[in-house]
Structure 1
Amino acid sequence: MKKKKFYFDKDTGDLIPVKKSKRNTAKLILSVVFLTLFFSAIGTALGYHYLVKPKTYGQAKLANELEKMELQYRLLNKKFEQTQSVLSDLEERDDNIYRSFFELAPVPNEVRKAGFGGTDRYANFSDLTYSDLVTETSKNLDIINKRLVVQSKSLDDVLVAAKDKEEMFKHIPAIQPVSNKQLNRMASGYGMRLHPILKIGKMHWGTDFAAPTGTPIYATGNARVKVAGNMGGYGNVVVLDHGYGYETLYGHMSRIKTRKGQKVQRGDVIGYVGSTGLSSGPHLHYEVHKDGEKIDPISFFYDDVNPDEFKVLFEKSQKMTVSLD
């Protein structure tokens, strides 16, 4: 049996039973509904996902994939920035070191970083959810591709130049034309000298190496024989055309061991020391010509002597005041 509830009436002093009211019941129900909705709203605002269920599984999955894609695009653009920095360093070294060494002009900046032109290449991305990210990534990719193509072409040019340079080094005179390990065969150098026969001061256009008759004479670089025969005061002469503007002359030979048009390599024997022509004794008169100008041969022994030995040869070449031819 349910207990009845009473309240005390202070005016009469009696206990009066409490009667249930439909109106009170309605108020109670409304209060419960209100509190339920209120706490539901609070739960949503605080991010309690279990209170609000996703519309569909597919939509939740798609939202997750989009979030991951955005992160990947941002990471990719960060890597693009790092790659561009490395590429910029390579371009700078290419212009200032590689191309400079091989005497190639730097690649113009407007070529390296030229625009693409034409219509808007990225208009199709404008309707995408992350259009800004997709557009930025595509631009970075296009820029790097363009710069890599230019840099690749530049390195191809450098490679060709390097091969040409290697070939050129083989042709440029670089050794002494006779064996001179003891550095005692330098008889006279380039410059004004007293001619031993004419007894007058005369420009001596080459270097004289004193050696016994029959001493082998070597080609100082790869070349083609331009002259092989007698040339007046030079006696028996060989002139080699090395290409790249270089020629070498070997005079006063006792015997020539080559013929016109023949190809020779550095170190090949092309003749033997003698005293033909205007000569005061057995020796080799050696000249180097560059673009038709006669230049000091002493600068072209770099592949044959070290710096200390070069100093000895230079000092000896300057001490001699009388040439042998």
Structure 2
Amino acid sequence: MRYVLAFLALVVLIAGGLWMYAGTLAGPSIEIAKPVKYVGLAAPLDVTVTAPGARLKTLRIVFEQNGHATPLFSLESPSGADVRQESGDRVRITRQIGRDAIPDLKSGTGRIVVSASRPVLFGVRATQTLAARDVQVRLERPTISVVSTKHYINLGGSEAVVYRVNPPDVESGVQVGDLAYPGFPASGANDVEGVHITDPALKLAFFALRYDQDLNTPIHLYARDEAGNTGRGDFDYRPFPKPFKHSTIPLDDTFLNRVVPAILEATDEIRPQGDTLQKFLAINGELRRKNTEKIASFAKQTAAALLWAGIVFHPYTNSAVEAAFADQRTYLYQGKEVDKQVHLGFDLASVVNAPLLAANKGKVVYAAPLGIYGNCVIIDHGMGVQSLYGHLSSIGVQVGQMVEKEQEIGRMGRTGLAQGDHLHFTMLVNGQMVNPVEWWDAHWIQDRILRKLHEVAP
């Protein structure tokens, strides 16, 4: 009998030890990917729980606010959530939360609470993990309305709009089809032509109607707060068609043998195979697209204020126009069509190695070789407006340098895909290439930009 009792005591001791050990094992790991900080009228919930074999005993997600807990998910009641086993150990739960999902949701603070447990000790015991995230609840949409009047935009051209948004600190701008053009505080234009604006709710946005967009492309104001709440504002505008030229570009071996090796040596973005013509086609197509994407990325470096000095952007009056904006080009080799591309700028020719001047005051955001553009300089003039100078023989400025209007920035050349010495010049609005002719026109700038700012200035 004594041995039996000793054996039972040993069993109890071992079982107790196993029980205690099982209690020290880690519970499931919990990651609350969304929401990060805010919950709006509609917001995504994205939670991942990891456990060996994705075996969970319990999983519960609730939203706590003002002493009340609203169930969002449980293994027994998924509440319309999407549940996916992403790997052998990971389970992901996603659903929408917001006013529709939580009718009693109030503006203010709240908390997402996730509790999960997994079985251990052959399912006799479970280990639990608790994770929580505090969030701010915002349930009011931002409001946005136009202030300026008379908005006219040419195909391939630019336009400006002044509007009021509340709260003033939300993201806002102009939506043109699938392209967004951010707005900036209108007070950032106070150094231009005597404009004086103090209202933080007033914004100025430049936008474009790309050469390849339809005249019926929808255009409207947008506002979006950090909680994902959106506001929309319509405004009157009139788009106008613009005819673009068609031209033929003959290619010969002399040109191809000069430009193709030089461009490929200066870039690591493409490594085309084949003969010289095939490599040229890769440069003219694939590399051109990559260059366009890179150019668009510099819009993120724009200043929040206008940096211009004077009204007109320097028009290069002592030069001959060799090609205009949005020329539809057909390339011929040995009399046969081999490619089609669109020329998004002006080609301006002068004397060989002529000095090139900054179109207006601004900050250099790029100064280096850039694929088909050869030696290239991009100057930021603020609020998404930038100018590009291509095919330079030499560059005379550095990234980060402030330049004055008509300051020399380099010398004319024929680097990149240039057949002869000239400047490739274009203007950019939030990274989109636009017709520079408008920016050379003092009347256009006065009517389309300055008039609108003066109308809202006190």
- TM-score (normalizing by structure 1): 0.41
The structure with the larger Rg is: 1
- TM-score (normalizing by structure 2): 0.30
Whichever structure has more strand as a proportion of its residues is 2
